[in-house]
Structure 1
């Protein structure tokens, strides 16, 4: 069995978890400690990311010329495309990752565009914003929250038992997208500065 057949067989029997951007997927996998395999396909190019206990542990890049593994493959896995994520048994991911282990996880972080402060701009601050998601004054656990600036996702996470998520971002105006368990999506506009470090998102 060749590599393509192996990957196809793994995904064929796996439970579909959703389609995500890279940033959203990393947050989703980490918050649920998932063992999963993600794939994105563009023509003859295929990008795979293997998660074990929520951490990206393996990467594979395939194209018409062959395959790259691990650190050489992960540089191709970046924001700007959609990834299909499937739940896979930990022992399968562990065996797969042995042949495509990511050692330099910093490569993956470099491929995600976050809002970062520019050197010399002292007028713009950076800090941690906390969002509380409520419905009828009750906190909602396990709700996915994404935060965007100028159309780009700068953070994505799932609410805790207290209905909260926190992101480290620059001061400014943001759009928050909240997707509840019934897949209903709501959008909120918020301001983040020294006097607005917490917001309540009431569904």
Structure 2
């Protein structure tokens, strides 16, 4: 049996929980220190994340062209995927992880929301233009795709200018900002857009 067939047979015998977006899955897994397999709702390509004591220790990506394992599989996650989680016994998961271990856990940690600095509480009603400058240290980052999400849905996309700037027309509310880096990883930040930010440029340092 292939690793996919083995995991599918184990999943078929387990009670699933979900679906959850990958960020919520990571937070919930760590809070509950779960052990098992998370399988993406999306079938082609389909991801499998293996959790041990709440930490994502293994990953497999199965697509038409073949399979990818470990870091390579995780690099291709966009952060918009949804997963169902299937609890399994520790010894089973430990054996599965041997062939697909994630060595750089920071890849997934970058998908967890963190706060953009200098953002005030939200005020309801109205809309405006949210402007942001993406830098690394003091260097503006040019040509990066930046997405704005609300409730897991993308509500805006833009590419950073030579000055590292992007702008979006948004309702006053709370959002997630996703910065897509050149190494195919992503950084996710939570922010609240309110009237005080109109005419301002929020500086986001991804160092």
- Name the TM-score class by shorter chain: 0.5 to 0.7
Q: How does 1:49-68 map to 2 (within 5 A)?
A: 49-68=49-68
Task: Give 1:151 shift.
Answer: 4.1
Structure 2 regions of 5+ residues with no counterpart? 122-150, 152-172, 179-188, 195-207
The correspondence for 1:150, drawn from 174, 178, 183, is 174
SS at match of 2:9: helix
Q: How does 1:1-203 map to 2 (within 5 A)?
A: 1-112=1-112, 114-117=114-117, 123-124=118-119, 150-152=174-176
Normalised by the length of structure 2, the TM-score is 0.57
Normalised by the length of structure 1, the TM-score is 0.58
Task: Give 1:170 shift.
Answer: 6.0
Structure 1 regions of 5+ residues with no counterpart? 118-122, 127-147, 155-167, 174-203
Greater shift, 14-23 or 99-108, is seen at: 14-23
Separation of aligned partners in 2, 1:19 and 1:67: 23
Task: Give 1:3 shift.
Answer: 2.4
| Matched residues, number | 135
SS at match of 1:150: strand
Decide whether the 8 Å contact of 2:23 with 2:111 is kept in 1.
no
SS at match of 1:42: coil
What RMSD in Å do the two structures reach over aligned CA positions? 2.9
